[in-house]
Structures are given as C-alpha cells and as structure tokens.
C-alpha cells in the first residue's frame, strides 16, 4: 500500500507500516535523503508471482527541495550465490533539473459520465531523467508498394527510468489519491526548478 506525506518522521512511519524489511529500507532511504527536508513521498509495496515463488518489492519515492530520490528493495530466495534468502536495496538521487518528463496515465471507467474530481481506477506514474531509455525500431518504408530498397530504420526513443502502477482494486483509493498528489508535487517542483534556471 502506498503512503504519502510531507515529513521525515511520516516517511519513516510509512516505511514501518509497509512491514517490508523496514529497518533496511528506512536506513537506505534516510541515508540518501541526508539532512534535507522531505517535501513529499510515496511508499509502494508490490507483490509479484514468479513461477512458483511469491516475491515482494517496495518502491519509495521521495521529493526534497532539490532532489528526487527513488529506492527499490527486492527480496530473493536462496540460490547458488547465497545459501540463505537475501534482499537487495538500491537508491538513486536525481537533481530536479535533470527530470525530463513526468507522465501520469489515468484509467477511468465510464468516461462518458466522468465527473471532475472522480478518482481514476488506475494510475501509472512514469518519470524520466535520462538514466534509462527504450528504443523501439522498425524498418522504414516508402509509399511505393513495389519498392525493395533498404530505407534504413525509423523509431522512437523513450525515457523510461521509473514506472509505478497503482490501482483502486489492488491498492485502494487512498493509494491512487496519494500517487496523484505526489505526481503533482513533483511536477510543481520541476516547474519551479525550470523557471529558476
């Protein structure tokens, strides 16, 4: 379940409420945040099924006055590299002026009768800052159906550093609302950064 808020103590409490290795996750996130004040955050736990295993994953997004911090923690079963189960946690700190795109995709039911202010049933928050890009290529063609010349390739490059999906059915309406609030806070912060440059 995602939690959002605006204080360092609230962030710690949300991580603890998630119940997902809270000491490990909190230490990693608090180390990345350092002494900065927390403007907004989201803690989102996700359970996935991989073959015969159930795996948990937690994503923590934090906004400060100058940075966007993202933390991922995954658990792994014992394997050939480790005789005991283990967890991997990573944090990335991104200056706000590096964020190049914030995409909020909303899925709404019965759009013909949509009322402003109604929560979407699903939200996908995608944030790009240039660390990871996806390139989709396809053969280029001309308008001549009989042409057999090689026209090279055409395609798109898409920033795809982070994508967080929450839904009313899976996470509850509060999570959808909280993710939208975080997206708005991040969007406003990056707009303020662009204006001040």
Cα distances from 35 to residues 13, 189, 196, 197, in angstroms, run 17, 19, 23, 24
Of residues 83 and 159, the one with the higher pLDDT is 83
Is residue 80, in this structure, part of any structural domain at all?
A: yes
Query: Is position 39 within any domain?
Result: yes
Residue 37 lies in a domain: yes
Residue 3 has pLDDT above 60, yes or no: no
Residue 173 lies in a domain: yes
Is 134 domain-assigned? no
Domain residues for 93? Answer: 1-103+160-196
- Mean pLDDT of the chain, nearest integer: 86
Domain count, the chain: 1
Residue entry with tokens 């283990």: 86
- 126 pLDDT more than 60: yes
Residue 110, pLDDT > 90, answer: yes
Measured CA to CA in angstroms, residue 90 lies from 93, 114, 121 at distances of 10, 40, 30
pLDDT digits (tens, 9 = 90+) for 143-177: 788 888 887 877 766 555 889 999 999 888 988 89
């Amino acid at each position: 379940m995602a939690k959002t808020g605006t204080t360092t103590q609230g962030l710690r409490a949300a991580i603890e409420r998630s119940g997902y290795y809270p000491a490990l996750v909190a230490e990693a996130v608090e180390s990345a945040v350092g002494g900065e004040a927390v403007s907004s955050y989201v803690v989102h736990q996700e359970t996935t099924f991989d073959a015969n295993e159930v795996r948990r994953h937690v994503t923590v997004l934090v906004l400060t006055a100058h940075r966007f911090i993202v933390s991922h923690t995954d658990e792994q079963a014992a394997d050939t590299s480790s005789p005991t189960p283990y967890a991997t946690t990573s944090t990335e700190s991104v200056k706000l002026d590096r964020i190049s795109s914030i995409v909020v995709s909303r899925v709404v039911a019965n759009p013909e009768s949509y009322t402003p202010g109604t929560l979407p049933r699903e939200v996908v928050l995608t944030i790009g800052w240039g660390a990871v890009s996806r390139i989709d290529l396809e053969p280029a063609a001309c308008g001549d159906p009989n042409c057999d010349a090689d026209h090279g390739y055409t395609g798109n490059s898409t920033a795809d550093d982070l994508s967080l999906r929450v839904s009313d059915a899976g996470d509850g309406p509060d999570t959808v609302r909280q993710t939208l609030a975080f997206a708005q806070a991040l969007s406003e912060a990056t707009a303020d950064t662009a204006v001040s440059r």
